């Protein structure tokens, strides 16, 4: 499956992301990137969905 991703990153380290797959399905996310770049947290913001995750840089760990 192929995806097209667009995002906007704000100066306060928050952002929004839109992901569209090759079937036309669209997903929206809100995210926060730690100022150090070491931690990335996101939340799916589409009605009817609950999804959140945290990624920590340099550890290979994925939490959530």
Q: Is the pLDDT of residue 23 over 90?
A: yes
Q: What is the pLDDT of residue 57?
A: 83
Please tell me the total count of domains within the chain.
1
Q: What is the mean pLDDT of the chain?
A: 90
Q: How far apart are CA 59 and CA 57, in angstroms?
A: 6
Domain with 32, as residue range(s), is 3-63
> Who has greater pLDDT, 64 or 20?
20
Residues 54, 61 contacting (CB under 8 angstroms): no
Report how far residue 11's alpha carbon sits from residue 44's, in angstroms, rounded to the nearest whole number.
Answer: 21
Q: What is the pLDDT of residue 48?
A: 94
Which position has the higher pLDDT, 58 or 1? 1
| Spatial distance between the Cα atoms of 30 and 43, rounded to a whole number of angstroms | 5
pTM above 0.85, yes or no: no
Q: What is the total residue count of the chain?
A: 64
């Amino acid at each position: 499956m192929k995806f097209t991703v667009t995002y906007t990153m704000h100066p306060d380290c928050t952002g929004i992301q839109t992901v569209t797959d090759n079937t036309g399905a669209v997903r929206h996310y809100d995210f926060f990137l730690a100022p150090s770049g070491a931690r990335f947290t996101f939340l799916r913001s589409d009605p009817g969905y609950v999804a959140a995750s945290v990624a920590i840089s340099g550890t290979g760990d994925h939490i959530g």
